[in-house]
Amino acid sequence: MLITAPNLSRPDDSYARLIALHDGLSEDESHALNARLILILMNQIGDDAVLAQAMELAKKPT
């Protein structure tokens, strides 16, 4: 099951880290970094059913 309830131990820190990660990168470099990050996180999640739910959720315009 995909977790949609709050689950980040330090939400502000994690978010700031994500934004800071892209400091000084060109758009192409940022895209490449995001792709690597998604792949790494995909492996951390592992379960194909959870990934499918996450992808479905991301597809929905909010």
Partner 1 sequence: MTAHSTLAFTLYPYARSADQDRAEPAYHKVVVVGGGPVGLAMALDLGLRGVPVLVLDDNEGVGEGSRAICFSKRCLEICDRLGAAGPMMGKGVVWNVGKVFHDDRLLYEFNLSPEGGHAFPAFINLQQPYFEKYLHDAILAAQAKGSPIEMRGGNRVTQVTPDATGATLQIDTRDGPYSLRTDWLVACDGARSPLRGMLGLNFDGRVFEDNFLIADVRMQASFPTERWFWFEPHFKSGASALLHKQPDDVWRIDFQLGWDIDRKAELDPAKIRARVDAMLGPDVSYDLVWTSIYTFQCRRMDRFRHGRVLFAGDSAHQVSPFGARGANSGLQDVDNLGWKLAAVMAGQAPDALLDSYDSERVHGADENILNSSRATDFITPKSKVSKLFRDAVLGLAATLPFARTIVNSGRLSVPCTYDGSTLNGPDHAAMPPRSRPGSACPDAPTPEGWLLNRLTQGFTLLTIDAHAPDSLTAQGQILPRLALTATPELTARYLGQAKSAIYLIRPDHHVAARWETYDEPAVTQAFARALGKE
Residue with tokens 């940022």: 30
Using CB under 8 A, which of the segments 8-16, 17-25, 35-43, 52-60 binds partner 1?
35-43
Decide if residue 3 touches partner 1 (CB under 8 A): no
Q: At closest approach, how far in Å is the CB of 40 from partner 1?
A: 7
- CA-based nearest residue to 19, from 33, 35, 40, 39: 33
Binding to partner 1, residues 7-26 (CB under 8 A): none
Residue with tokens 């999640």: 45
Determine the 3-state secondary structure of 42 from DSSP.
helix
Residues that bind partner 1 (CB under 8 A): 31-32, 35-36, 38-40, 43
